[in-house]
Amino acid sequence: MPMPDTPSIPPQAVAALNAGRKIDAIRIVRETQGIGLKEAKELVDSYVALHPDLQWRVEQQRSQVSRRWIAWLVLLGLATWAAVQYLSLP
């Protein structure tokens, strides 16, 4: 049974957090509880703060996304460099 100050979120939102999908959890909370974005984010953040295992999963997902963006930027840079080299051939 949750403590009075413990935020309650739907099981689907908890499942999304367990998968590292915080944005999906916020969306689920908004839809199921009929609250605004700010309130839903605060509720999910409060829930995550009380569950360190979820904090770790959310951080892991965030770093995976960051690595993907970096990889895409490096690939884009290499493609641009190759195009410039190709176009500057005599």
Q: How many domains does the chain have?
A: 1
Read off the pTM.
0.62
3 in a domain, yes or no?
Answer: no
5 in a domain, yes or no?
Answer: no
Report the candidate in 52, 6, 7, 45 with the shortest Cα–Cα distance to residue 23. Answer: 45
6 in a domain, yes or no?
Answer: no
2 in a domain, yes or no?
Answer: no
What percent of the chain shows pLDDT beyond 90?
Answer: 49
Helix, strand, coil percent values for the chain (each to nearest 5): 75, 0, 25
First CA to last CA across the chain, in angstroms?
75
- What's the mean pLDDT in 15-42? 94
* Domain, as residue range, for 41: 11-87
1 — pLDDT class (breaks 50, 70, 90)? very low
Residue type (1 letter), 26: I
4 in a domain, yes or no?
Answer: no
Q: What local confidence, expressed as pLDDT, does residue 11 receive? A: 95
